[in-house]
Amino acid sequence: MSNHKILTIDNLSLQEFDSEADLIPLLTPEDEEEMNNEALPELLAILPLRNMVLFPGVVIPITAGRDKSIKLINDANAVGKTIGVVAQINEEDEDPTKDDIHKIGTVARILRVLKMPDGNV
């Protein structure tokens, strides 16, 4: 990779790459436009996540182990593939309710579901 510098803002490190950096964008401008123009369902199934926050436009694998979460992912994958993901307030909570998750989350699209040998997806 070419030279880059690190900017520190409020204890967060952000990398600022110069124009010669070898970065491959995850989303093309066309993908972003399609995503911004996509009609969202009026109702979204909500998947509570432990120790993870998803951000729009980022492709990242997640692991689900709770039976309810696995069913939600499989059901959503069979139809619209769009779900809401929200971080849990307490990661130890095995059966979170609406009061146990943060109020702001991200709309996510399921790209692929892989069943793991331990039963997680």
Domains, the chain, in order of start with CATH, read 26-109 (2.30.130.40)
CA 91, CA 30: separation in Å to the nearest integer? Answer: 37
Contact 63, 117 (CB under 8 A): no
pTM of the model: 0.68
Give the DSSP H/E element, type plus range, for residue 8. strand 4-9
Sign of the Cα torsion 33, 38, 45, 66 reads: negative
pLDDT for position 22: 59
pLDDT tens-place string over residues 46-72: 999 998 888 887 888 889 999 999 999
Q: What is the pLDDT of residue 19?
A: 55
Sign of CA dihedral 108, 112, 113, 115: negative
Which residues of the chain carry a pLDDT beneath 50?
A: 1-2, 4-14
